[in-house]
């Protein structure tokens, strides 16, 4: 008979393997998407976000700066500044699962931000900015990912940045912000394998949602 520890280790290994296989499949699906199709779905999703009551009611919003295989968020960021909302963007700490959400001052500023080794733009290490949780917290976080299911489960890229950050949000007096994931319809799965510490997303927006 297997010991509880061995059974737990076996389950953890099986979960890792399932996540790895699904990540490979989702990356394949994303590589097959044309630039024109990604732009089409991104424009549609930008309109869905901008018309969303949670977005309209939120003042302090965190949003990701898109990589090539993610829903493009530039139109949303422009709208945030036009409406006078406060915009925060991820700043990842390489080699850890630590991420902050730091204040962006304008849409134009994005083009001057340095690139990380993952080709993500973010402020440099010596660029000191307001961190969302150090003051008023966040009302809404727009979240990327590799895959999602309709129950709100998310498959990230394996670093744990968003799960760790949402745990920190829960310790803030304001509490956990509302979370909306932005996905191409090709990123929607029947089920996403999750562990106990994987935090569910409140809502997933995609073309047919």
Residue numbering of the annotated binding site for ATP: 19-23, 154-162
Residue 34 CA, chain-centre distance (Å), reads 22
Q: How far apart are CA 122 and CA 190, in angstroms?
A: 33
How far apart CA 68 and CA 31 sit, in angstroms, is 10
Kind and range of the H or E run holding 60: strand 60-62
Which residue, 153, 156, 163, 94, is CA-closest to 125?
Answer: 94
Instruction: Report d(CA 209, CA 188) in Å as an integer.
Output: 10
The annotation places the binding site at 19-23, 65, 70, 154-162
CB-CB contact of 177 with 138 (8 Å): yes
Which of 140, 142, 135 lies closest to 172 in space, CA to CA?
A: 135
User: Can you tell me the distance from the alpha carbon of 59 to that of 86, in angstroms, rounded to the nearest whole number?
Assistant: 6
> Which residues are annotated as part of the binding site for substrate?
65, 70
Q: Are strands 99-104 and 86-92 parallel, antiparallel or unpaired?
A: antiparallel
The crossing angle, in degrees rounded to 10, of helices 35-50 and 74-82 is 30
């Amino acid at each position: 008979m297997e010991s509880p520890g061995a059974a737990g280790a076996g389950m953890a290994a099986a979960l890792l393997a399932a996540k790895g296989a699904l990540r490979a499949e989702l990356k394949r699906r994303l590589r097959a998407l044309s630039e024109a199709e990604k732009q089409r779905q991104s424009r549609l999703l930008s309109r869905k976000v901008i018309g969303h009551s949670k977005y309209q009611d939120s003042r302090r919003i965190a949003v990701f700066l898109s990589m090539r295989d993610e829903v493009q968020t530039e139109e949303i960021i422009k709208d945030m500044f036009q409406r006078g909302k406060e915009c925060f963007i991820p700043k990842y700490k390489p080699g850890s699962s630590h991420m902050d959400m730091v204040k962006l001052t304008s849409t134009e500023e994005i083009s001057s931000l340095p690139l990380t080794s993952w080709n993500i733009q973010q402020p440099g290490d010596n660029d000191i900015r307001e961190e969302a949780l150090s003051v008023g917290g966040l009302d809404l976080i727009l979240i990327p990912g590799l895959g999602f299911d309709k129950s709100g489960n998310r498959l990230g890229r394996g670093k744990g940045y968003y799960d760790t950050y949402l745990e920190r949000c829960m310790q803030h007096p304001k509490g956990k912000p509302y979370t909306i994931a932005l996905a191409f319809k090709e990123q929607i799965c029947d089920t996403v394998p999750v562990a106990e510490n994987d935090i569910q997303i409140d809502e997933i927006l995609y073309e047919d949602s």
